[in-house]
Amino acid sequence: MADVNNNNKAEEAGPEPQSLFDELTNPLNLTLILLIVFLMYKILKSRQPVHTASPPEPQLPKLRRDFTVEELKKYDGTQEDGRVLVAVNGSVYDMTKGKRFYGPGGPYAAFGGKDASRGLATFNVSASTEGYDDLSDLNTEQMDSIREWEAQFKEKYDLVGRLLKPGEQATNYSDEEDEANTSVDKSKDD
């Protein structure tokens, strides 16, 4: 009778458990494992940055001169060399290395080849004037905003020169550089 009770208990417990190897090599489990591995590979691969080999932008020669409003309009990024200049608070900056923002098709393309002071002060990308804008009607808060933008541009972009008022004469920067070099040479001789 004891043997009968033991056999009944074995039958109630079900078949004997399979080994871990047998469980993993089951065709359904193998398929699931391969699917999990494939999905993990896809997830990890999608997180890695895709390196696109874009040709380096050609280095343009440094530009150092003053501009009238009309002269500045030529530097909106559409010309052959792609140079983008933007004026802020009377200073002109070479924004060519930020062309994806200030050049054609960029979010701030309206500023390319123009005085962006009013637009930056009023947070209006399309705010633009045709002629010289003396900004005299802007309030203190707006002028502070322009100065903050100008400080950022000074850190990030090359200063090219000044935006000339109507009738104002351009500075000849090559003469100033020659005079500075001459005065340095004279001080060495003393």
Query: CB under 8 Å to 171, separation ≥6 — which residues?
Result: 65, 66, 161, 162
Q: What is the chain's mean pLDDT, rounded?
A: 80
Q: Which residue has the higher pLDDT, 85 or 18?
A: 85
Q: Which long-range contacts (CB under 8 A, 24 or more apart) does 61-66 make?
A: 62/94, 62/158, 63/94, 63/160, 63/161, 64/160, 64/161, 64/173, 64/174, 65/160, 65/161, 65/170, 65/171, 65/173, 66/92, 66/161, 66/162, 66/163, 66/164, 66/170, 66/171
Q: What pLDDT is attached to residue 20?
A: 76
Q: Decide: 159 and 93 in contact? Cβ < 8 Å.
A: yes
Share of the chain above pLDDT 90, in %: 24
Q: Quote the pLDDT of residue 159.
A: 94
- Between 3.40.1710.10, 3.40.50.2000, 3.10.120.10, 3.40.50.300, what CATH number should domain 69-173 receive? 3.10.120.10
Span 94-122, mean pLDDT? 89
Percent of the chain clearing pLDDT 70 (strictly above)? 76
> Which sequence spans correspond to the domains of the chain?
2-47, 69-173
- pTM for this one? 0.62
Stretch 104-124: mean pLDDT, rounded? Answer: 88
Whether residue 3 is predicted with pLDDT greater than 60 in this model: the reply is no
Q: Which pLDDT score is estimated for 161?
A: 93
pLDDT for 184 equals 42
